[in-house]
Amino acid sequence: MDFTFTEEQQAATEAARAVFSDVAPDGVPSPALVPGAVAEDIDRSLWAGLAASDLLSLTLSPEHGGAGLDPVALCLVLRESAKVLARVPLLETCGVAMALQRYGDPGLAAELLPRVGRGELVLTVGANGRSGHDPAELAVTARRDVPARNDRPGAEPGEGPDESPGFATGNADGDAAGWVLDGVQSGVPWAQAADWIAVPAHTGEGRAVLALIRPTHEGVTLAEQVSTSGELFAEVRLDSVRIDGRALIDTAGTWEWLRALLTTGTCALALGLGEAVLAMTSEYTGKREQFGFPIATFQSVAVQAADRYIDLRAMEVTLWQAAWRISTGADGALPVEGDIAVAKIWASDGVRRIVQTAQHLHGGFGADTDYSLHRFHAWAKQIELSLGPAAAHEEALGDLLAAHPLG
């Protein structure tokens, strides 16, 4: 197997390292010291820096002002972002943008994606459903709606349809074809800071679709939630939200593809965070002395650190296998969902073991709120459970193995 990255992918990594080099993991109040969210907004200066370095347009096609790189390149950048706990919806924005580019209305893509690449728009996605345990698309229903031309919200008698995305647009018969959404998505990352939210939903026929809505759209209510990492998330409630037909992507496989990309990107975040924590642990145990020797020279400490290094290497190889299959569409013994499940099992279990070992080897110093390790621990728990914990993916992998016996 050849794990060599292309020149373009390596250049993206270097650009990401340069942008993230000035980011401090403790740039906001500690989640252990504040009762609510650590901040009301994302790191806007960092977001602008990502845009200026063309990292937000990395995976967009040249026609939308991007470099046209693949999910592997995105995972490389995400890996670097997690090393500094970057407070930006990089995965969510790039993932939704790629789904819109791949499956969505070309006109809407041409309208939104160049602005995404310039950092003018923030995108996020509701992937947790009502509770985080059930499939996200089951939490929202989408039904077709064909109101009269003057039935759009706020229209005066005789007034034509609003042509902006999010409202119904007229068809050849003089009516407007759109969709109506009802339901709840919980734990939507940085929804209050987003310009558009991608919402998975299901139709009466049981198909999964993906809708794009504005947080300010009529019928949309955001309720504040605080993530395990201390970030401001939201419960997004949809009450008869009417959207333009082109703002709903009903191409088969759209949500499944986006969910696979989000899960794989979460594995990249786990890998980057784990690498940063193991580096912190190595530095600390190399300086902390007991009985006149650095504790890193003690066999029990060295063995624990070595076990966590093995976790990292397993997390890395399974991540790149999943990202490569998403990028290339290559065949395998199992569908691509099998590789993604394996990667997320290792990511969830691995990142948890790494931060737990780090806390143990740091002793009481690891719990000091003036030291950033406790922040990494909180973020690791958030990543571990995002897009499903290890147990959920073990169950999914078992179902795949049962349906596709290995010869």
Note the pLDDT of residue 162. 42
Give pLDDT, residue 131. 85
pLDDT tens-digit map of 360-401:
999 988 888 989 999 999 999 999 999 999 999 999 999 999
**pLDDT tier at 406, thresholds 50, 70, 90:** confident
Residue (of 253, 171, 164) closest to 208 by Cα position: 253
Instruction: Calculate the alpha carbon distances from 41 to 26, 160, 193, 241 in Å.
Output: 15, 36, 6, 25
Q: Tell me whether residue 83 is exposed, middle or buried, using C-beta atoms within 10 angstroms of its C-beta: 0 to 12, 13 to 18, 19 or more.
A: buried
Task: For residue 182, list its beta bridge partners.
Answer: 141
| Mean confidence (pLDDT) of the chain | 92
For residue 134, what pLDDT is reported? 87
Over residues 209-248, the pLDDT tens digits come to 999 999 999 999 999 999 999 999 999 999 999 999 999 9
Where does the pLDDT of residue 171 fall: very low under 50, low under 70, confident under 90, or very high at 90 and above? very low
CA geometry: angle at 155 spanning 153 and 157, to 5°?
Answer: 140
